[in-house]
Structure 1
Amino acid sequence: MSWFFALIPDTANVAIWTMMIASALPFLLAMLAKALGGFGMADNSHPREVVAKFTGRAARANAAQQNSFESLPVFLASVIVAMLFFVPQIVVNYLAVMYVALRLIYAIAYIVNLPTLRSITWTLSMACCFMLFYLAVKMAF
């Protein structure tokens, strides 16, 4: 695993890229949910009603999309606050990359119906955010 972290540079663009990827993830999951559910152009006049009727993997992909939107503000705020309070950039980058990796695993676990793995990765992804906030507070004193 240390080889993975050796690949992460200590420049701010890594954190910015992770924020962009995390912001795109809910949209990608929404498209996947619609593709899995057989969403067609005719369904676009009432998309929420159609998506609400999805079952199985399509419904789980939609739920992963909704949760990704819900956790996104916490992640974005934690990265920005950590950078504003001069948490070492390499630490911000490690935690931001870990958050994105965990969110990807979370989405896969949700879609393929692995609830324990889903819960673990959700918890760990949120821990990354709270660790960034904690480090920012430590830097403020």
Structure 2
Amino acid sequence: MDLLTQTPAAPYAWSLVLSGGVVIASIVPLGAARSQANFTMSDMKAPRAMFERLPAWGQRASWAHQNSFEAFTLHAPAALLALIAVLQMGPLSGLALPAALLQPVLRLVYLPAYIANVPPLRGLCWAGALSCTGILYLEGLRALIAAA
């Protein structure tokens, strides 16, 4: 057995961890943009005030970073719900497993698509990742309601 399937709950735990990793990864291009805008320690007084100094790609990196937090706050409860459902009821049916693993991948692809200003790819990644989160909510709730 590999690391992702050692237990039925492992993919949902990995989804949660990897989604958090995407938030951390979104800091890298933002840091590069701030460096290009000559970020100094005095900017720490109001780090968002330097937004206008960022290059266009850096502004998109900032928005992508903020959007990563928004996506994580939606996905984390869904992954936890699926994790709890699996621990209580056993493996989930349907698309829950592929959705759990695909969501962080789509969000990771979303970052360069946003920063490079590729709207069709960005939109597909956003919609796909949001759909994956929705699937986790549905499958987790379905399992817990069926058990009640």
CA RMSD of aligned residues (A): 2.4
Q: 2:57, 2:115 within 8 Å by CA — same for their partners in 1?
A: yes
Structure 1 stretches lacking a partner, 5+ long: 1-5
What is the DSSP-based 3-state SS (H/G/I as helix, E as strand, rest coil) of the residue aligned with 1:37? helix
Match of 1:37 among 34, 38, 44: 34
Match of 1:9 among 5, 11, 24: 5
2:84 corresponds to 1:88: no
Normalised by the size of structure 1, how large is the TM-score? 0.81
Using the TM superposition, name which of 8-17 and 54-63 deviates more.
8-17
Q: How does 1:1-141 map to 2 (within 5 A)?
A: 8-11=4-7, 12-38=9-35, 39-86=39-86, 88=91, 92-139=96-143, 140-141=145-146
Residue aligning to 1:3: none
**CA deviation string 1:82-114 (max 9, x = no partner):** 122236269644322200000011111001110
Q: 1:85, 1:136 within 8 Å by CA — same for their partners in 2?
A: yes
What is the DSSP-based 3-state SS (H/G/I as helix, E as strand, rest coil) of the residue aligned with 2:5? coil
Normalised by the size of structure 2, how large is the TM-score? 0.78
Letter in 2 for 1:27: I
Q: 1:75, 1:129 within 8 Å by CA — same for their partners in 2?
A: yes
What is the DSSP-based 3-state SS (H/G/I as helix, E as strand, rest coil) of the residue aligned with 1:85? helix
- Superposed structure 1 runs of 4+ greater than 3 Å apart: 89-93
**CA deviation string 1:23-47 (max 9, x = no partner):** 2322332342131232333322221
Using the TM superposition, name which of 42-51 and 66-75 deviates more.
42-51
Number of equivalences: 136
**CA deviation string 1:21-78 (max 9, x = no partner):** 3223223323421312323333222211013542321111111111110111211111
Percent identity between the two aligned chains: 26
C-alpha displacement of 1:10: 4.9
Letter in 1 for 2:5: P
Larger Rg: 2
